[in-house]
Amino acid sequence: MHADELSGGVYLPAELLQGYFAKAMALLVRSKDCQKEMTEYFFGKKGKPISFFLEDDFKRSTHLLKKTATSKLPFGFSFPMRPLPVFKSRIMKDINDAIVIESGQVKMRQLSFDITSITEKGAKRFINFLKCVPYIGETVNEVRSRKTFSSRYTFRPYPLAVQLWIESEKAITVPEDLRDFLKGSMRYHSEEEWRTSIVLSAIAVESVLADLYEEEHKTYAPNVPLGDLY
């Protein structure tokens, strides 16, 4: 497990900064001047799935990023596109990693990010992305980076690791109905619908236990809580 701590100077409350930053990034990644580190962070090594580039988007996005970095934000800014989820935890299939991002405001003018990834690749991709963002990147400071085995960190990316495994070729041997239950559980977990997530994951576990019981005893599993049978 890899953990990183970053800090950077900003001049806004965290919610406002992240909102404007997400809008600017949606414009920036569409431009032909967007750097490779940015497109890899959002879309992986294959690059962005759109085939058009707008020169004006680069000018508008860097203008907005400069305003964000200096606290001179344009109120009433109209934004025609969907903001990109810049600081959302995510899986990165192309490098077989998952990253959990937690942000907080240390001081009035400073944001901090606590980043946990399964391997060093995921954390490095986020850092490289952030450092190449115009105006914002030059304020980023990497406080500490380390490999950790503490349960405080190792369980953070666990749901994303399960999602990464489900969507990989290695999970092809898992029956489709079990994969559907697990996918649903992960989806509801990401939406913080804890009860539904727990129910779906429990159904998946019960199904696996039923399969094991029937293989071992050569008979149908009884209609009782299967955890009591082992």
Average pLDDT over residues 164-188: 83
CB–CB of 167/44 below 8 Å? no
pLDDT tier at 79, thresholds 50, 70, 90: very low
The answer to whether residue 164 sits within a structural domain is: no
CA distance 104 to 197: 27
CB–CB of 52/29 below 8 Å? no
Is the domain of 105 the same as that of 185?
no
CB–CB of 86/136 below 8 Å? no
pLDDT per residue as tens digits for the range 15-60? 656 666 777 777 777 766 677 888 888 888 876 654 444 444 455 5
Is the domain of 202 the same as that of 141?
no
Is the domain of 120 the same as that of 44?
yes
Question: What pLDDT does residue 87 have?
Answer: 82
The answer to whether residue 157 sits within a structural domain is: no
Domain extent at residue 75 = 2-147
CA distance 25 to 23: 5
The residues that bridge with 111 in the sheet, in sequence order, are 8, 105
Q: What is the mean pLDDT of the chain?
A: 75
Is the domain of 93 the same as that of 206?
no
pLDDT per residue as tens digits for the range 135-159? 778 888 888 888 888 888 888 888 8
The answer to whether residue 152 sits within a structural domain is: no
Residue 173: CB atoms within 10 A of its CB come to 6
Is the domain of 55 the same as that of 131?
yes
The answer to whether residue 202 sits within a structural domain is: yes
Domain boundary among 97, 129, 147: 147
CB–CB of 65/72 below 8 Å? no
**Type of residue numbered 194:** W
DSSP 76: T
Question: What pLDDT does residue 97 have?
Answer: 93
Domain boundary among 108, 131, 147: 147
Q: Which residues of 60-99 are buried (b: 16+ CB within 10 A; e: fewer)?
A: bbbebbebbbeeeeeeeeeeeeebbebbebbbbeebebbb
State the total domains in the chain: 2
pTM: 0.68
The answer to whether residue 159 sits within a structural domain is: no
Using CA atoms, how far residue 188 sits from 42, 56, 66, 176, in Å, is 22, 38, 37, 18
CB–CB of 11/70 below 8 Å? yes
Is the domain of 209 the same as that of 141?
no
